[in-house]
Amino acid sequence: MSFQAKLTLNCFSINLHSLLIKLCHTSNAKQLTLKIKKNMATFLSFSLLCFFFFIFFLSLCSFNGGTGGSDIINETCRKSAKSDPNINYNFCVSSLQTGHKSHNPTNLKQLGITAVKLTKSNASHTKSFIKNLLKNKKLDPFVKLALQDCMEVYSDAVDLLKEAIKDVKEKRYSEANIKLSSAMDSSSSCEEGFNEKKGKDSPLTKENKDVFQLAAISLSIINMFGGNGYY
């Protein structure tokens, strides 16, 4: 805004200045009216030009300002995906936009809190999902054991993620960092539990990947404003 105002002001002052100089150098009256007329025309066309410039910059400004919260989400996800191969840009944008509606982030820290909350609720849903799978009485003993391990690691992860939300709010970024990393470990160790026996596919591959990636996104965002030189 101040740039535009300055620009317009400068346009007018340059014009007035040159007009005055030209007028002062004119002695006779007839010549003076002629000069005024001629200079008026230049003055008007120059002002018109300035006016268009002003409108042009104004429209640029409102275009950038009008996109609201999706700007910060896109920009942050672009950076996260670039610095961490585990993070998929589209997954990041769609997850944070879902969270954005309910938590409304307007700055990086709020966005970080949103990301940790999403990770926590995702882990918590996964925990309930595992609990339901365990209700099946006809489970293969190996699968049952692996699911029980998953249940255990996810219970811990949910508790840690609850704490991590508080940690971020209260600026204990390195604590949050440790707890989020631990949640990533939980999801991968749950997945690995099924890989120990050939022919047994994990029923939790998508869930584990989602939690892993959401925690990675949270870590990436926290490191952007926590500034511990992780990146």
Q: What is the identity of the amino acid at 230?
A: Y
Q: How far is the CB of 168 from ligand NAG (least distance, A)?
A: 19
Residues 6+ apart with CB under 8 A from 35: 22, 23, 26
Total residues belonging to the chain:
231
Q: From 138, 125, 165, 133, select the one nearest 149 (Cα to Cα).
A: 133
Residue 210 in the binding site for ligand NAG (CB under 6 A):
yes
Torsion of the alpha carbons at 7, 8, 14 and 19, rounded to the nearest 10: 170
Residue 93 in the binding site for ligand NAG (CB under 6 A):
yes
Q: How far is the CB of 74 from ligand NAG (least distance, A)?
A: 4
Q: How far is the CB of 205 from ligand NAG (least distance, A)?
A: 12
- Which residue stretch of 14-22, 69-77, 162-170, 194-202 sits at the interface with ligand NAG (rule: CB under 6 A)? 69-77
Structure tokens at 135: 């209700």
Which run of H or of E encompasses 12? Answer: helix 2-24
Contact criterion met (CB below 8 Å) for 174 and 228: yes
Q: Which is nearer to ligand NAG, 45 or 67 (CB)?
A: 67
Find the DSSP H helices in 170-204: 173-195
Q: Token match 């002003």: residue?
A: 54
- What is the C-alpha to C-alpha distance for residues 201 and 191, in angstroms, rounded to an integer? 9
Q: Which of 76, 95, 177, 218 binds ligand NAG (CB under 6 A)?
A: 95
Residue 103 in the binding site for ligand NAG (CB under 6 A):
no
By rule CB under 6 A, what count of residues binds ligand NAG? 12
Q: Which is nearer to ligand NAG, 93 or 176 (CB)?
A: 93
Residue 86 in the binding site for ligand NAG (CB under 6 A):
no
The residue number with the shortest CB distance to ligand NAG is 125
Residue 67 in the binding site for ligand NAG (CB under 6 A):
yes
Provide the mask over 105-134, with x wherever binding to ligand NAG is found by CB under 6 A and - wherever it is not.
-----------------x--xx--------
Q: Which of 55, 59, 71, 195 binds ligand NAG (CB under 6 A)?
A: 71
Decide: residue 190, CB within 10 A, 0-12 exposed, 13-18 middle, 19+ buried: buried
Q: How far is the CB of 165 from ligand NAG (least distance, A)?
A: 16
Q: Which is nearer to ligand NAG, 50 or 95 (CB)?
A: 95
Q: What is the DSSP letter of 197?
A: S
Q: From 182, 178, 162, select the one nearest 113 (Cα to Cα).
A: 162
What are the residues binding ligand NAG (CB under 6 A)?
A: 67, 70-71, 74, 93, 95, 98, 122, 125-126, 207, 210
